[in-house]
């Protein structure tokens, strides 16, 4: 692992494009990233502890775990679980690509640190939470929708799905998720 970047720091109108609101309590900051080739995603910044670069060679596999849990790494002297987010959501999965490194978005769950492994981290974006739209049944597969809290339409008229960390955790500690 090398560089660590510390990150601790129903529409209200007919216009569905997320715009700045006048009330600051309606704003929420998100970290943007892409899952696979095309799924443009967001994760609430408030949930993130840091992002780190992860070498796949550093991941120690743990037998008899959910296939999406790649194993553990040592981060700050503690065992940190590494989750292949694309695989969990029904995609090909990160380790089935030619990549040797990725980015881990770290968050706390039940006193454990978990790193969601993705290709690269995007930008920090701010959206009015009142403009978060519910997922429609025709949008994406059931599997993908099961891990989403909703979506925004950005200024370029592109959808930006919001990852629901609680649903991801439920899938991992509940019944095993199969591809």
Q: Is residue 98 part of a domain?
A: yes
From residue 64, give the alpha-carbon distance in Å to each of 55, 81, 87, 114, 170: 22, 14, 16, 18, 18
Residues 86-92 have a mean pLDDT of 85
C-alpha 92 chain-centroid distance:
16
Look at the chain and report how many structural domains it folds into: 1
Q: Is residue 19 part of a domain?
A: no
Percent of the chain with pLDDT over 70: 79
Domain with 125 in it: what CATH number? 2.40.50.180
Residue 64 has pLDDT above 50, yes or no: yes
Residue 37 has pLDDT above 80, yes or no: no
Query: Whose CA is closest to 150, among 169, 130, 177?
Result: 130
Q: Is residue 44 part of a domain?
A: yes
43-52, 90-99, 134-143, 148-157 — which is least confidently predicted?
90-99
What pLDDT band is residue 100 in, cutting at 50, 70 and 90? confident
Q: How crowded is residue 158: how many other Cβ atoms within 10 Å of its Cβ? A: 10
Residues 51-60 have a mean pLDDT of 93
Q: How crowded is residue 38: how many other Cβ atoms within 10 Å of its Cβ? A: 6
Residue 36 belongs to domain spanning: 4-12+24-173
Q: Is residue 178 part of a domain?
A: no
Model pTM?
0.78
Q: Is residue 179 part of a domain?
A: no
Residues 6-17 have a mean pLDDT of 33
Q: Is residue 18 part of a domain?
A: no
């Amino acid at each position: 692992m090398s560089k660590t970047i510390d990150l601790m720091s129903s529409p209200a109108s007919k216009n569905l494009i997320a715009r700045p609101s006048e009330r600051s309590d309606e704003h929420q900051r998100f970290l943007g990233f892409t899952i696979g080739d095309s799924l443009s995603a967001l994760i609430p910044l408030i949930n993130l502890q840091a992002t780190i670069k992860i070498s796949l060679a550093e991941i120690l596999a743990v037998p008899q775990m959910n296939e999406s849990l790649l194993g553990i790494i040592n981060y700050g002297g503690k065992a940190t679980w590494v989750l292949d987010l694309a695989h969990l959501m029904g995609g090909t999965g990160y380790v089935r690509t030619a990549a040797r490194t990725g980015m881990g978005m770290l968050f706390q769950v039940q006193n454990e640190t978990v790193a969601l492994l993705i290709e690269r981290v995007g930008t920090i974006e701010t959206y009015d939470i009142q403009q978060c739209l519910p997922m429609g049944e025709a949008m994406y597969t059931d599997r993908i929708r099961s891990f989403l809290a909703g979506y925004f339409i950005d200024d370029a008229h592109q959808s930006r799905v919001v990852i629901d960390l609680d649903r991801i955790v439920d899938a991992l500690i509940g019944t095993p998720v199969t591809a």
